[in-house]
Amino acid sequence: MQIQDVFHYFESDLKRVEEHMEMYLRSDVRLIPEIIHHLIGSGGKRFRPLLLLAAAELCGYRGERRYPLSAIIEFIHTATLLHDDVIDHAETRRGRVSANRVWGNAASVLVGDFLYSKSFHLMTDDGNMAILKLISTTTNTMSEGEVFQLMKAGDVTITEKEYLLIVEKKTSILISAACAIGGILGSATDGRIEALTRFGMRLGTAFQITDDTLDYVAKEEEFGKAIGQDLREGKLTLPLIRTMRKCTPEEKAFIREGIENKDGEATAGIMALIQRYDGIHYALGKAKTCIDEAKGVLVPFPESEAKNALLTIADYIIERRL
């Protein structure tokens, strides 16, 4: 199975998710759907709803509740993107001008807040206390991750452990929740829900490590954001953390100065050092280990199209080396 096969298999379900998202975004305040459509309609793959749909089917559930809950997960993800772009002073998102550049920071933050509140309103409509508790804990953890990342911005002493903690809190936790919700919908055993939770955490960590690594090596028109953007924003990700651990004191001072002074001219030199000290290969190796662990978690589940879909998604995360 290839990733295109997965999207084809869930095509009608993803269409229903889109219909529900469209319905929930209606507002008398015209600016709200305008900003959200700018971001939601700019090419996102609906990766998190896809995982929820696949996990639910893996656990035997194909009912209607999948659609609003998938919309909730995508809304929370979209809210974090709106807030992230404000924090990072981003100029582009998915190859388009970012919402904060078009409508300003205040509008972006408030519309992100609208998406959060809409998500919790929809969860109360669903009425499942386990899901409500899961998403409440998830969004709280994501906020902690955002603040911790802000504390570590430009900090050249950040450790690999601290970086991975940010990844888990900011990214992995929501992907994990999407998978766990699938298990809850399917009334799976606690053990299987826990397995899907762990699958999502490892998958999410691999996803973010790969995403951060592509920031150094991808083609800009395919990646959807400016290459080297993380470096210019003072975000030290795994390829650079590895390099800082291996390079000479002089090279470390060069990197430190380039980051602290936000010296765009130093970017090429820093990227060359990352290549020299195998930062890209190291980071992708870590991501591959996470994927292998994630796939191992699914071994007890019976063979099915849904299981094949989840395994294919896992492989795709590593293969997307643009």
pLDDT value, residue 322: 38
The pTM for the full model equals 0.93
Place of tokens 């099915």: 304
Instruction: Report the C-alpha dihedral over residues 43, 47, 48, 52, rounded to 10 degrees.
Output: 130
Q: Judge contact between 184 and 69, C-beta under 8 A.
A: no
User: What sections of the chain are H helices per DSSP?
Assistant: 3-9, 11-24, 31-40, 47-58, 66-88, 99-103, 105-126, 129-152, 160-167, 173-185, 190-217, 220-223, 229-232, 238-246, 249-260, 267-276, 279-297, 305-319
Give the Cα separation of 303 and 306 in Å (integer): 8
pLDDT value, residue 223: 46
Domains of the chain: 3-319 (1.10.600.10)
Give the Cα separation of 142 and 55 in Å (integer): 22
Sign of the CA dihedral 287, 292, 295, 297? negative
10 Å CB burial of residue 308 (0-12, 13-18, 19+) is: middle
Place of tokens 């997960």: 73
Residuewise pLDDT in 10s, the chain (322 residues): 999 999 999 999 999 999 999 999 999 999 999 999 998 876 678 999 999 999 999 999 999 999 999 999 999 999 999 999 999 888 888 778 999 999 999 999 999 999 999 999 999 999 999 999 999 999 999 999 999 999 998 888 999 999 999 999 999 999 999 999 999 999 999 999 999 999 999 999 999 999 999 888 755 545 455 556 777 777 899 999 999 999 999 999 999 998 888 767 788 899 899 999 999 999 999 999 999 999 999 999 999 999 999 999 999 998 875 3
10 Å CB burial of residue 77 (0-12, 13-18, 19+) is: buried
212: left (phi over 0), alpha (psi -120 to 50) or beta: alpha
Place of tokens 């590895």: 242
